[in-house]
């Protein structure tokens, strides 16, 4: 499975790459440090899942998700963010994000990616 990471923190991107690539047949096919860069790179990288941060410079994760869903409607999106509440989760679902995982619950990210990838494969 090809995963694209969009997060403004280089340390988070490196950590995610390490954790995700330990899952066996998963590969991080690319990284971006803001939403605009993510929207520009995603179509050429053809990921199976995109992991987005919420708070980023240039374009935030919700704005990027809206554009990514237009460009790549069948690619599942997972938001990996420092903060979450019911309002954010509602907004995320409204723009096409399938799962919201908070960074303090980082271990749940692998499970969320598996779940959205499985649902995408079934559809």
- With a CB cutoff of 8 Å and minimum separation 6, the contacts of 76 are 48, 49, 50, 98, 99, 116, 117, 119, 120
- What CATH number was assigned to the domain covering residues 2-122? 3.40.50.2300
What is the rounded CA–CA span in Å between residue 19 and residue 85?
A: 25
More confident call, 51 vs 106: 51
Structure tokens at 65: 């998700």
> 10 Å Cβ neighbour count for 105?
12
Beta bridge partners of 6: 32, 52
Average pLDDT of span 12-20:
91
pLDDT tens for residues 70-121?
A: 999 999 999 988 877 788 888 989 999 998 888 767 667 777 787 787 776 5
- Residue 65 is predicted with a pLDDT of 96
More confident call, 113 vs 2: 2
Question: Would you mind telling me the total number of residues written for the chain in this entry?
Answer: 123
Residue boundaries of the structural domains of the chain: 2-122
């Amino acid at each position: 499975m090809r995963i694209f990471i969009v997060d403004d923190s280089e340390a988070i991107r490196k950590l995610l790459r390490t954790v995700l690539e330990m899952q066996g047949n998963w590969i991080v096919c690319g990284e971006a440090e803001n939403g605009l860069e993510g929207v520009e790179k995603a179509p050429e990288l053809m990921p199976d899942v995109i992991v987005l941060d919420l708070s980023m410079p240039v374009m935030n994760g919700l704005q990027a998700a809206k554009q990514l869903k237009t460009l790549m409607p069948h690619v599942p999106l997972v938001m990996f963010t420092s903060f979450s509440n019911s309002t954010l989760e509602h907004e995320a679902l409204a723009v096409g994000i399938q799962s919201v995982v908070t960074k303090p619950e980082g271990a749940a990210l692998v499970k969320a990616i598996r779940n959205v990838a499985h649902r995408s494969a079934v559809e």
